[in-house]
Structures are given as C-alpha cells and as structure tokens.
Structure 1
Amino acid sequence: MADPYATLGVARGASEADIKKAYRKLAKELHPDRNQGNPKAAERFGQVTSAYDLLTDKDERARYDRGEIDGDGNPTAPFGYGAGGTRPGGAGGFRSQQFDMGGGDAPDMSDIFEGLFGGRGGGGGGFASGFGRRSAGPPPKGGNVAYRLQVPFADAAALAPQRVTLADGRTIDLKLPAGVETGTQMRLSGKGDPGAGGPGDAIVTIEIQPHRFFTREGDDVRLDLPVSLKEAVEGGAVKVPTVDKPVMLTVPPGSTSGKTLRLKGKGFHRKAGGRGDQLVRLVIDVPADDAALKSFVAGWTGGGNPRANMGV
C-alpha cells in the first residue's frame, strides 16, 4: 500500500516523462538480471514496476489522487465499494502485481526494456512485463570465466599460437589478433561455466611479458645493438636478433653510437595489415683494458672536439 510517487521518488504532480525517467533509472539498478541472488532487489523491482504501472495509467492515477484506490490499486472503501462506485470485478477492478483483472490492455513496456536491456524484453532472468509476470524466456547461460594469459614478447610480435589450459583441464590453441597488446581481451564462446541455457564464455586477458633486450614503441620494436669500434669504423655486416630469427644487418663505415638503422617488417602485426619495423640503435662497445687500442689512441689526435656544437 506504499505511495507510488514515493516508491519512484517523484513529486505528486510529476509529468509522465519524469515518471518514465525515474522508472528507467530504478529498473536499471534493480532488475533481477543485475542482482542475481538478491531477493530484496527483486522485491523492490516489483514495487517500482507496480508503481510505474499505476501512475502511467491516467484513469488509475486520477482515482489514486482522488483517494478512491490505494497504492496497490485496491478500492479504499470497505468491501471494495469505492467513492466512484467501483466494485470487485467491475470495470475498475482490482489491480495486483501478479495479474491485471481490469480487463484492459496491459501497457506496452517494450520501449523501456529495449533501452535498458538490449531489446530482450527485460532480460534473460525471466521478468518481462510491468505486472511482474514471468515470461517463458530461455534459461540463463552459465557464468563467464576470466583468464589472464602471459605471452612472451617475441610470440606476441610474431602472433605465435598460445596454448591455454581451461579450468576443466581442457587445452585450446589461441590465435592472437593483429595489434595485440597488454590488456587485449579475447572471448572464447562456450568455454565458461555450464548452465541451463548453455555454457558461458571464457574471457582471456593478454599480458605481454617484457623482453631482456627488445622494447616496443607502437607497432615498432626497438633494440640497442652493441658493435665493436672496428665494426663502427670500418663498417660491415653484423648478425642482429629479431622477434622472428636473426638476420644480417649492414653497418655503414664511420658509424657513431646512437645511429639508428631500420629493419623493415620486423615489428608487431598492425590491425590494419602489415607489420611495424625493428629500429636498431648502434652502441659502440669500447673494451676497458685493450693495450693495442690504448697505444693507438695515445698517438692519435682525436679527430677534433665532438662537443663543439654544444658550445663547450
């Protein structure tokens, strides 16, 4: 017998638009699909739905405002005779959360539930119409199961298949998508918990492991490559690791530390197709105690001041 205005949290003179807006908000919060295992939420959902039904029926709302019926739609006078002459089973009838005994058409609630629950008529939990009746909807699916998969850096770049062991002990080979990165989620349909309406899904979140010498920059891979002083001065071909396999790279004569060379197509696979590159930065490795090098440097002028462009 609660006040339907108070149940929806609106003023007595609220417009139909205000009532509808208030109901949308409450129904979204309280719908059984989103409150499984919470009977209080289901009870409250029924109350706000019943209040919405009454206040969106112009005749019933007017009768309530005149005091002829209570918040449940029942006549307020003894033995069911209201001020307007309403009787049990008459044209006004009793109004109940479970049944509409007035003989009128039930209000169309599809517009509300389509907006709230994706057009499923109130969701798969079984609650459908504004009168709290249970529909013959499909039984609920099982729950989804979350997994976190650590993928080696090179495997992620090359899209190498990854084997996943599910909770029931089964294994599945997972094909990584182009553009994969840490946080990418992959859905495996039907690999979740069992349920009356079929199994749920497995949700796999990817975590790319760091590499000991590769780093990622967008779809490119970066690498600092040590080269000897002789290789830097004279140039020549050197072997370079990539995320696929080692390749030969030509170092130009007279290269300095920090010079960056590019290996095309040796990076991560792009979502739009193709692959990024591998950017190789040369780092000249000078031995700490080489007598021949010390002897050479002692008689060398040094080639000028390499810091001159810095003003020092």
Structure 2
Amino acid sequence: MAGDPYSALGVQRSASAEDIKKAYRRIVKTDHPDLTQDPAATARFKAATAAYDLLKDPDQRRRFDAGEIDDQGQEQGTRWRQRQHAGGNPFGDAPGHGGDPDLSDVFADLFGHRPGGRSAGARTTGFGGFGGFGGSRTDQRGDDVRLLVEIDFLTAVRGGRSRITLPQGGTLDVAIPKGMRDGQVIRLRGKGAPGIGRGAAGDAHLEVRVAEHPQFAREGDDILLVLPISLDEAVLGGKVTAPTIDGPVNLTIPVGATSGQRLRLRGRGVNGGDQHVELRIAMPVQVDAELTAFFETWRRQNAYDPRKGMSDSA
C-alpha cells in the first residue's frame, strides 16, 4: 500500500469501523484474485487489504491519524512489524490475517470460511487459499456463458436439432423447439463454465440467429412466399405447385391473376399460422415473333390503361 489507506478503501477519515469493514468487503467481492484475473483489480485488492489491516486496529488507526506511524506502519524510521516475507507475500502473516477472527468474518460472508476450520466442500488454491492471502474457499458454481448460434430457417420453423461447439470444447446436438424466432434464447443447464471444487457447472444460454431462406420469409406465425407464374397462367388460371415449409402443395391460380395479388394457404404457416403466396408474373425468357404478333393484334383490339387516374392524384 502506498499513500492514504482511507483512499485505498474509498472512505472518509471520519468513517466508522463498520464503514471501513463494509468498504473492504465490497472490494473483496469485485477485486479478489479468485474472482478476476485483472492485474489492476489485484493491485486494488492488495492495497485495500493492507489498508484494512492497518485501520481495523483502533490503536493503529489512532496512531496513524495522529501521525505517529505512516501508512506502512513505520514508526520513527523503523518498521513496527515486518510485512514483507522472504517468499514475496506481503500479507501472509500481516496483522488481521491467518487466525484473526475479524478478517475471517469478512471472508466468511463471501467464501463460506469460518474460523477454526474449513467449511464443508471447501478447497485450498495453489496460491495458499484465497489467491495467496490465507484462508479457504467453498465450492462455487461456474459462470453462465452466452453463445450465439445460427440455425437455418426451416429448422427454426419446423423444429429439429442443431450441433454447436461448447466453449470448454466438444460439440453438442441441441434440440430446437418448433417455431423458434430470431433472438430467442435456449438455456442449457450445466453446459456453461465448470464450477470450482464440487460446485456445479454454470448454464449456457444460446441466443438464436435464424438464417434467411431464399424463398420463405416470416411475419409472426405467417409464412410469406413470392411465387412466379407464367403469362398464360396469369391469363388463363390453373393449378400450379407451390412450396410450403412442410412440402409442396397444389395452388389454384385464378383467371386474370396479376402481380402482387396474394393467395392464402390456411394453416400452412408456423404453429397454425397461414402461408401467404404473392403472385408475380414472369415473362418468358425470349419473346418470339408469334407472341409479339399476337399481342400487337390484341392491343389494337383490346387496349387498356392500367395506370389510369394515377396522374390525377399526383
């Protein structure tokens, strides 16, 4: 710790002993080395630990406030207690650690440690308990993870299975419920980050992205399809084959059908929705001389203006 121990804990000099303890507990919850790998958080935790170690003792706090000792506990140029150990742990036997019941109480709320022994199921880390700061740690549930998974359109609307790669390695076939929408989340229990000790693994939350389909689109539980029809089918009508999400069906084209006209297939959508078929007249690849001659004659005898009235409203 270097500087003001009150600043290291984020409290005023007038803070009560309970306020100091609460401030330290907040820092432990966010910056403890067992909870984060952030070097800056580790530095904050070390500074806060040294500050708490100094200020939790009423006599030490009084002497620091009076200027008799500095933030390192030094008095008249001599350390009143050697904090730095040969092994490099500045807090291993510092006041307030080890068997100190006051500091143990702080960790009890966070890690389940109780003075006088290790709690059931707890284990010690390779860094001497709490990341090198003494004590022990209970089993902890693993973190939840959030994954993005893309599934094809028909699997989403029909339901099915999709194979995903788990963050800890390996693959898993996931059941996709029928009617899955873009942005919905599937929860996989126990497929998140592994737990600590005997702690259960966290959950995996799969956020679904539904890939576009070259023919179908979706509006709620309705399916939309643009269906090309030939010139003669538009004029004469007839039966054509139309694709649906459950397979092809026969569709009746009315006589004189026009582009943009919609036909409805009841119950052919998702979960009882409908499929709407929008007709679009497609001209032949090549307009031959016979077709040209026919329409030239037809136009002379039956000309009409489908844009009539549009200019009046412009």
Question: Normalization by structure 1: what TM-score?
Answer: 0.64
Residues 1:297 and 1:4: Cα distance change in structure 2 (over 3 Å):
same
The aligned runs of 1:1-16 (5 Å cut-off) are: 2=2, 3-13=4-14
Contact 2:158/2:178 (CA < 8 Å) preserved in 1? no
Tell me the secondary structure at the aligned position of residue 232 of structure 1. Answer: helix
C-alpha distance in 2 between matches for 1:106 and 1:170: 40
Contact 1:30/1:45 (CA < 8 Å) preserved in 2? yes
Query: Which letter maps to 2:246?
Result: D
Please, which of 279, 287, 294 is the counterpart of residue 289 of structure 1?
287
Residues 203-212 or 9-18, more deviating: 9-18
Contact 1:33/1:124 (CA < 8 Å) preserved in 2? no
Residues 1:258 and 1:96: Cα distance change in structure 2 (over 3 Å):
same
Number of the residue aligned with 2:277: 280
Deviation at 1:284, TM superposition (A): 1.1
Contact 1:69/1:75 (CA < 8 Å) preserved in 2? yes
Residues 1:261 and 1:191: Cα distance change in structure 2 (over 3 Å):
same
Contact 2:241/2:250 (CA < 8 Å) preserved in 1? yes
Number of the residue aligned with 1:90: none
Number of the residue aligned with 1:65: 65
Please, which of 198, 210, 213 is the counterpart of residue 211 of structure 1?
213
Deviation at 1:310, TM superposition (A): 1.5
Tell me the secondary structure at the aligned position of residue 176 of structure 2. Answer: coil
Contact 1:237/1:250 (CA < 8 Å) preserved in 2? yes
C-alpha distance in 1 between matches for 2:11 and 2:46: 17
The aligned runs of 1:242-253 (5 Å cut-off) are: 242-253=244-255
C-alpha distance in 2 between matches for 1:104 and 1:45: 17
C-alpha distance in 1 between matches for 2:175 and 2:155: 11
C-alpha distance in 2 between matches for 1:241 and 1:166: 35
Contact 1:23/1:52 (CA < 8 Å) preserved in 2? yes
Residues 1:112 and 1:249: Cα distance change in structure 2 (over 3 Å):
same
Please, which of 233, 236, 239 is the counterpart of residue 237 of structure 1?
239
Aligned residues: 282
C-alpha distance in 2 between matches for 1:249 and 1:133: 76
C-alpha distance in 2 between matches for 1:104 and 1:29: 20
C-alpha distance in 1 between matches for 2:108 and 2:168: 39
Contact 1:262/1:277 (CA < 8 Å) preserved in 2? yes
Question: Normalization by structure 2: what TM-score?
Answer: 0.63
C-alpha distance in 2 between matches for 1:237 and 1:167: 51
Tell me the secondary structure at the aligned position of residue 222 of structure 1. Answer: strand
Number of the residue aligned with 1:255: 257
Number of the residue aligned with 2:304: 304
C-alpha distance in 2 between matches for 1:125 and 1:100: 16
Tell me the secondary structure at the aligned position of residue 256 of structure 1. Answer: coil
Number of the residue aligned with 2:156: 156
CA-to-aligned-CA distance 1:284-305 (integer Å, 9 cap, x gap):
1222425247414523444521
Q: Could you tell me the percent identity over the aligned residues?
A: 41
Tell me the secondary structure at the aligned position of residue 96 of structure 1. Answer: coil
Query: Which letter maps to 2:304?
Result: G
Contact 2:53/2:96 (CA < 8 Å) preserved in 1? no
C-alpha distance in 2 between matches for 1:20 and 1:249: 76
CA-to-aligned-CA distance 1:50-108 (integer Å, 9 cap, x gap):
53576578787556423466657x6958897xxxxxxxxxxxxx97242364x769666
Contact 2:6/2:12 (CA < 8 Å) preserved in 1? yes
Contact 1:32/1:125 (CA < 8 Å) preserved in 2? no
Number of the residue aligned with 2:229: 227
